[in-house]
Structure 1
């Protein structure tokens, strides 16, 4: 999850006190090149300059990233940091707590493991290659096992993975994720074809992304990239991301005109966007 805040470039007020007793004494981004004391907490952050109109703050799992226009003096950056000090330290704490919860919920890749699939639990079942689904299953290129989804199983659907006896956790993970990626390509293509006519756009190519903090992207030539991990979310969330990227083929920014384009097709896009941010995936996916 990435938390963003953008501020207009202007002098700011002094910081307010943070009422979080459990806040650590310091936060450090691994690529930190500046630091500030915010609410009695030392925050070492990554500072970037670029072609932008305002100072922006992004809270990532690794820490705080601050971006500013090239012409903004450092004292204004410092003032903006102090003005948002309470928000920054609070979000750093929330992000750390969230990462700890995700690690605690980490997937153990083994027979019987449960992973989210289209918003529902999917159980992994290891079977001998010759008996999966009552037919012989052969290994595919790269040593990944074939897989078969059975939705008749109770209490939840089961993904049968044809793997050799003694398969390692890495082999189980790779086989399950290879199947998920195949399903992702099929589903994403179908949803792109479904929504493109509604938006009066034409997409040209689909690629799967493996990014950790970005769900999709679009280029002016019509090429679309979508994160295969979207397959862990409900189909409505996937549709929102598909429409979001297709809308960029009409408006290549996040202006009010862009959001109006998204809204015309997905009226509840704000709720789905929050769901995408709030429904964290377990560690290891």
Structure 2
């Protein structure tokens, strides 16, 4: 087997693989449902345009129909609603029969998108005094403090259970604009991300017996990290919002690629050798929701 091309990094997706629609005569085995996104979505997952409608058991299902060269009918439920792809020769009646057959699955996925949109709205950060951001799995309260230099994290060891014990004092006036607060906090988070990632990489390179050539921060919208055969590792700086066990899983995942540039059984054994409970952290990562920082 030829060696891996260092120009083609192995990447850990921000998303899981999509799940297909339930098997049935009208649905293609290629049908996939996009996994939960972490980027901002419309607060109300309206249906794509152009729209068609079908009422099934009292439920209105709106969908966009796209004609394609595929040989079967396919469904995709995303933030904008339901999209249907069908061959040019398939009539609307047959398409709607397929929709009725899959209606339970479609309605469930549409509801999941609505719930996710609501969570995203709740996760949007308001850049003001007293707002909170997640850092290493804990809530941090923002404090505008002109006496501070840059951004300084304070810990209150006496905080009651359930009350945030961390405050981030920003060297900004009370009149600071939201953009100033956002930029100051994001710069601080990125500095902390590099410090934390370097520390965790040092720990896990020793456990795995690998040599990392370079660590870079990424702002990728679809990847938590990537590894190249030349020893370069890229980690999404926004991992710093999550607790250390989740960060450790992504770090271990990427460093393990320096021994196995694939996702074979051997690769997962390498991951397990350094992080025996990686499956728990991997599962937690799938359910993480990033705060919306725009």
Q: Same fold (TM over 0.5)?
A: yes
- The answer to whether residue 169 in structure 2 is matched with residue 149 in structure 1 is no
CA drift at 1:28:
3.1
For residues 54-100 of structure 1, what are the alpha-carbon distances to aligned partners after superposition, in whole Å with 9 as ceiling and x for unaligned? xx99876467899xxxxxxxx9xx9xx98988656633531342122
Q: For 1:25-64, what aligned pairs fall within 5 Å after superposition?
A: 27-28=47-48, 41=61, 44=64, 61=79
TM-score (ref. length: structure 2): 0.67
Q: Could you tell me which of 92, 103, 109 is aligned with 2:127?
A: 109
Aligned to 1:5: 18
Q: What CA distance in whole angstroms lies between the structure 1 residues aligned with 2:222 and 2:289?
A: 11
TM-score (ref. length: structure 1): 0.69
Aligned to 1:160: 169
Q: Could you tell me which of 213, 217, 224 is aligned with 1:215?
A: 224
CA drift at 1:278:
1.2
8 Å CA contact 1:4–1:59 kept in 2: the answer is no
Distance change >3 Å, CA 159–CA 59, structure 1 → 2 = farther
Aligned to 2:36: none
Any idea what SS the aligned residue of 2:223 has?
Answer: coil
8 Å CA contact 1:192–1:242 kept in 2: the answer is yes
In the alignment, structure 1 segments of 5+ residues that lack a partner are 16-23, 48-55, 67-74, 138-145
Q: What CA distance in whole angstroms lies between the structure 2 residues aligned with 1:215 and 1:196?
A: 18
8 Å CA contact 1:150–1:159 kept in 2: the answer is yes
Aligned residue pair count: 246
Which structure carries more relative contact order (alpha carbon 8 Å, separation 6+)? Answer: 2
Distance change >3 Å, CA 150–CA 157, structure 1 → 2 = same
8 Å CA contact 2:62–2:82 kept in 1: the answer is no
CA drift at 1:282:
3.0
CA RMSD, 1 decimal = 4.2
